[in-house]
């Protein structure tokens, strides 16, 4: 007679081996396979390998933090006899979300207008129609547990759920006259990093330039960070050294980190960004007040542009250009001349006088008067 345990394994093994085949029951009616919901071949209770929703294709728009409610009660799932509804400190999480991707960190589907709540997409019943989408309870837990596990190393129920009869007052968390819960995060102007290299031991990062000048959002660099960046009770996780590969990956979208190390690394503190010294094009008073995006339309990398004026301004003529805007009003002799007479090959950086005047040169001799 066949051993009972061997018989059971004979039934299980084919399903494990053929994990990519269609599975039976309610799953089969939706044409699903294991890989639809799981990222590994053999999911277990300890490591279910649950995939996140296809968030990349969803509409996600951030809302102002000032519009966020301070606290709301999560009570749309079936209450238990042990725990009371969760009082979620929404504003505190929203204020910290700037370093983790903004509202889209949690609201991965958020079209223009009112913020879409979790229950608008996730069914409260576990016996749902679309089993490829987590139910409401599963969505809450999947959204919260990763951060809390990394933060404290614990996912005990009482971290979020209060026992009935032992609820704490929320006045200790948020006072009605308090505008912020989390202290405002002060962004540094400049950060210096010590590199473990023989040459280029110092990397000077001008944080204020990347935000104010290059118009980067916090989430462009801090998209995978959360509270544990500053507040980890798990010291082993918080002090873990970030690999050089990850550090370079954050910069490589704009900088050539493969072959141009000197653009960031030097043996002394580097100065701030200077458009003339870096690109050879002097912004001077005519372009210095423009945002970079007016000329460099791609935020993921400021590519070199043709620095001829006609690239942006088209063709200038006597009819469509007022020379007074340059700070110089031409006299009667020069006001009727074509631009090319003084600006050879339409290079407007400095006029040429020698073609007409043997004894005159710019700026010693002006073809008019300075404008007030």
Q: What is the DSSP string of 74-142?
A: E-SS---SSBPPEEE-HHHHHHHGGGTTGGGGT-SSB-SSSPPPGGGTS-SSSS-S-TTS--HHHHHHH
Nearest residue to 294 (alpha-carbon basis) of 266, 267, 313, 273: 313
Confidence of residue 367 (pLDDT cuts 50, 70, 90): very high
CA–CA gap between residue 272 and residue 23 (Å, rounded)? 59
pLDDT at position 10 over 70: no
Query: What 3-state DSSP class applies to 192?
Result: strand
pLDDT in tens, 220-276: 777 666 666 676 666 554 444 556 677 787 788 778 778 888 888 888 888 888 888
Q: How far is CA 341 from CA 49, 149, 309, 312, 333, in A?
A: 72, 72, 16, 22, 12
Phi and psi (nearest 5°) for 33?
Answer: -125, 175
User: What are residue 141's phi and psi, to 5 degrees?
Assistant: -65, -40
Q: Domain ranges in the chain?
A: 55-171, 191-294, 312-370
What is the token pair recorded at 265?
């690394």
> What is the reported pLDDT for 21?
41
Tokens matching residue 290: 């423009």
Asked if residue 84 lies in contact with residue 164, where contact means CB atoms within 8 angstroms, the answer is yes
Cβ contact 115:63 at 8 Å: yes
Compute the distance between CA of residue 86 and CA of residue 77 in angstroms, rounded to an integer: 10
pTM score above 0.85: no
Report residue 369's pLDDT band, with 50, 70 and 90 as the boundaries.
Answer: very high
Q: What's the alpha-carbon Rg for the chain, to the nearest Å?
A: 31
Cα–Cα distances (Å) from 166 to 83, 89, 157, 163, 307, in that order, read: 9, 18, 14, 5, 69
Q: What is the pLDDT of residues 293-349, one digit of tens each?
A: 788 877 666 777 777 787 788 788 888 888 888 889 999 989 888 888 888 877 777
Helix (H, G, I), strand (E, B) or coil at 207: helix
How many angstroms from the chain centroid is the CA of residue 165?
Answer: 42
Q: Are 37 and 132 in contact (CB under 8 A)?
A: yes
What confidence tens digit (pLDDT) does each residue in 67-103 have?
778 888 888 887 677 888 888 888 888 887 766 667 7
CATH code that applies to domain 55-171: 3.90.10.10
Q: Phi-psi category of 161—alpha, beta or left, where left has phi over 0 and alpha has psi -120 to 50?
A: beta
């Amino acid at each position: 007679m066949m051993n009972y345990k061997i018989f059971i394994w004979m039934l299980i093994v084919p399903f494990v081996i053929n994990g990519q085949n269609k599975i039976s029951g309610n799953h089969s009616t939706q044409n699903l396979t294991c890989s639809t919901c799981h990222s590994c071949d053999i999911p277990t209770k300890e490591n279910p390998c649950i995939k996140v929703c296809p968030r990349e294709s969803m509409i996600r728009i951030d809302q102002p933090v000032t519009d966020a409610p301070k606290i709301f009660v999560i009570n749309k799932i079936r209450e238990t006899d042990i725990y009371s509804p969760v009082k979620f400190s929404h504003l505190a999480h929203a204020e910290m979300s700037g370093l983790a991707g903004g509202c889209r960190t949690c609201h991965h589907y958020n079209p223009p207008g009112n913020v879409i709540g979790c229950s608008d997409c996730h069914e409260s019943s576990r016996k749902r129609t679309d089993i490829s989408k987590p139910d409401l309870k599963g969505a809450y837990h999947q959204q919260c547990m990763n951060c809390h596990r990394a933060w404290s190393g614990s996912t005990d129920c009482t971290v979020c759920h209060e026992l009935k009869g032992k609820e704490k007052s929320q006045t200790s968390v948020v006072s009605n006259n308090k505008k912020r819960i989390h202290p405002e995060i002060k962004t540094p102007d400049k950060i210096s990093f010590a590199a473990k290299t023989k040459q280029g031991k110092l990397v000077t990062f001008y944080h204020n330039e990347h935000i104010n000048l290059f118009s980067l959002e916090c989430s462009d660099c801090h998209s995978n960070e959360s509270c544990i960046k500053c507040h980890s009770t798990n010291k082993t996780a918080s002090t873990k050294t970030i690999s050089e590969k990850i550090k370079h990956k954050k910069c490589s979208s704009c900088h050539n980190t493969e072959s141009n190390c000197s653009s960031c690394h030097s043996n002394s503190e580097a100065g701030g960004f200077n458009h003339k010294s870096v690109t050879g094009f002097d912004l001077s008073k005519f372009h210095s007040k423009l945002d970079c995006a007016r000329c460099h339309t791609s935020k993921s990398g400021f590519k070199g542009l043709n620095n001829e004026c006609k690239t942006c301004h088209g063709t200038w003529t006597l009819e469509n250009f007022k020379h007074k805007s340059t700070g110089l009003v031409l006299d009667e002799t020069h006001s009727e001349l074509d631009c090319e007479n003084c600006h050879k090959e339409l290079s407007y950086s400095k006029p040429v006088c020698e073609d007409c005047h043997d004894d005159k040169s710019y700026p010693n001799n002006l073809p008019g008067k300075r404008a007030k």
